Each structure stands twice: as structure tokens, then as C-alpha cells.
Amino acid sequence: MKKIVVYLPGVKLGYRDLKNADFINQIESNYNVSWVFPNSIPLEFSSKSNITSIKTTPIRNYIWTLLFELSNYSYNRKILKAKQSFPFLGLSVKQIAILKGIYFTKTINLFNKIFEYFLDSTFKKYDSLIDNEVKAIVCFTSTKDLIFDDLVRNSYNTKSKIILVCINWDNATSKPFIKKPDYVFTWGEQTSSLAESLHKIKSIPVGCPRFEHYKNDLEIDLGRYETLNELKENYICILFAGVGFPFPEIEVLNKLAEILEKNKLYSFRIIYRPHPFAWKRVEIQESFYFKKYVIFDPTITLFEKDDLVQYQFLFKVCKGVITAYSTILVEALMNNLPLLLIAFTHDNNFDWQNAARFAPHLDILKHSSDIIKCNDFENLESEFLEIINKISVNNTSYSSLDLSKKIVLQNHLSYFENFKLQLNKLL
């Protein structure tokens, strides 16, 4: 079997998706795999193959963070033509001060060169891991990853091809590449085309393991779950999907509940599904009408945390979806559900309106007049009533599924089979 190195995220959604798609077992059955994890190896990882845990030094992490934020700023300004300010999410006060100082003195290019020179001069070589027999280094991550950059550095002067496999929809387009791989594997033809035009990197669609459960022809029997069945029988439900970045979700839900009461839409209920890794927010009091019309997603307790089948049950109950551009919108399209996308800038941490306007991967949504968009809180009532109207008249005739197929490769092959097919062509 051909020898490859596979770098996996240790936590959160990426590892979960690959594990649930049985990707880890299948790749070990087809290749001689050496696994690489950041910092620590997941406790449940049971592979008997060669496993390496890579740790980066604090000083390199610090310098790399500054370099990435400066590169991201330039990428947004020069490539995306977006006046996106520094988001500063997760940065220390000192780092923010340094970045602002570099920006205001107009020395971004100079410090980019200094920081990159430092990182190029101090990276650790993994000669025992990446030897002459390794055909490919496959990285399941995003470009915002120092270990990925170091693996690219390690690939220089070897015969190994380095491949970035995008974990999330926006990974190939929304961020700069400090170090470029040989190839990028993306969700679908849309992001492959964008990655090639924006970054000049050969990009190939392979699909997404997150949606693998849709290929299993699972019979969705709501009768197995009394709570879900009662919701479907007694109410018209709309899913409100939370997001990771700061967003005034409770404030919006309070308003939506108020609109339902005001318009005497007593048969409607909003199912609220918070994002599992959301940034901490300022607590806002839930209103009286929130408690009347909003229900926290029951599938969170009915299913195991990593059981992605729960989404199929959830979409069986809900007649429409509202979200601030969560990736769950792709599943709404796959299920041909009316969709309301909202983008209100909440504070200085993240400019939602700017992101909705300039993010390359979201551009495909602008050309569908059937997807309702609301970028102003003052217009929320009219846009909310529009999605209710679509639900009430069962107006789901638009080609949402066709749009979803441009975003995510959806063929008869499994995610691993698509991945293997493309990888073998490169080896």
C-alpha cells in the first residue's frame, strides 16, 4: 500500500464528521497511514498505525497569529475588495495593539516579510515522519493553521504532494494561504472554481463527510420520538440555527416571537438550535413571547451529540429555516426548504453585513431570488412574514436541490470513494 501522512484536527466538527463517515477505518484499509494530530491525540482514536502529536512553541504561535491576521487583512482588501476590519476574535490586548500599530504605520508588507522569515527559519523538520516513501501529505484543516503551514514547509525538497482537504464550506476561499499546497480538495464545484480563481491552486471537488448520512436511505420514523412527533402534529415549525460568531440570537428570537403573536400566527413554533461551539455572548433576557413560541431543539437530548442523523429528523419536523448564514443552510437547500438568511452587525467583533456581502462562498446565494435575505433588523418582520407565506402556500418549487449540488458534490459514491478516486490520480 502507498504510504501517506494524514493530518487530522483533534477536536470539534472536522474529526467528528470524518469519524461518523467511517473515513478513518476506510483510509487505513487502503493506505499505509501515518497520523498527525495537533497537541494531543483524541482519547477515542483507536488506530494502531503510526501516530504523531505535533506541538508548536508559544513564540511561533504568537508570531504566526500576527502574520495570519495581517495576511487576512490584505487578502480582504486586495483580493476580495472588502473593507473588512480586523475581527480581533480570540486575540490578546497586546496582539491587537501590535496589529493596529502596524496598520496605522502602513508597514504591513515589511512585517509580513519579517514574520514569515522568522517562521521559515524556525520550523521543526519531521524527516522521520516525511521520508522518501511518503507519496502525499493530506491535511484536513483550514489555512488558519500553523501546523499545516509547517507541513507545507516540510514537503519542500521531497517527492510528497501536499493536499489541503477543506473541512468547512468557506475554508478554500475566505482566508489567505500563507503557504500554498499542491492541491485543494473542496466540497463541490463552486468552491473548487473559486479556489482556483482566487488562489491559483489546482482544486478538486470530493464532497463533504458531514452529509454522508443522506446517502444511507434512512427511513425517518418520527413515531420513535414522541416529542418530535407531537411538534409535527400540533405546530408548524421553523428551525432557527445558531452560529459560532457573536450574533444577537436571543434578541432576534424575541422579535420573531413578538411578530408571531402580533400577527396571530398561533400555530407556528420556532425550534432554536444553538451552535455547539458558539462564542460567549452578552446574556439577553428571554421575553414572555419567546417562552411561548420558541422551543429549544429537542434532538439535542434525544440523540447522541455526534449522531448526525438527528438533522434528518429535525428537517422532517421543520417547514423552513432561519439562520445567520450557518452551514446548516446547505442542508436546508438539500431538503428543499424555504430559507431566510439574516445578517445584522451586532458589535465590533464581527461585521455580519460585510461578510454576507463579500464572502466568496456566499456569492452563489445572491443569485437566487427565492432565498429570502434580511440585512436590517428593521426589515425583519416583513422578511419573516415572507418565509411564513412560502411555508403556508407550500412554495418550495424553486431549485434548491440543484443549488446545493453546486455547493456539495452529491453523486452515488461515498465520501471516501470520491476522496480515494481523486487522491489515487495524484499519486
Q: Tell me what pLDDT residue 326 has.
A: 87
- What amino acid is encoded at 51 in this protein? I
Q: Tell me what pLDDT residue 348 has.
A: 62
Cα separation, 427 vs 412, whole angstroms? 24
Among 39-53, 105-119, 231-245, the least confident range: 39-53
Backbone angles phi, psi at 202, to 5 degrees: -60, 125
Cα separation, 11 vs 142, whole angstroms? 14
Look at 252 and 344; give whichever has higher pLDDT. 252
Tens digits of residue pLDDT in 130-139:
998 999 999 9
Scored b (16 or more CB within 10 A) or e, 220-246 reads: eebeebeebeebbeebbbbbbbbbbbb
Mean pLDDT value across the chain: 88
Mean pLDDT of 222-238: 88
Q: Which residues contact 30 (CB under 8 A, 6 or more apart)?
A: 1, 420
Tens digits of residue pLDDT in 131-163:
989 999 999 999 999 999 999 999 998 989 999
The residue behind cell 522568522 is: 118
Where does the pLDDT of residue 184 fall: very low under 50, low under 70, confident under 90, or very high at 90 and above? very high
Mean pLDDT of 182-186: 97
Are 220 and 294 in contact by the 8 Å Cβ rule? The answer is: no
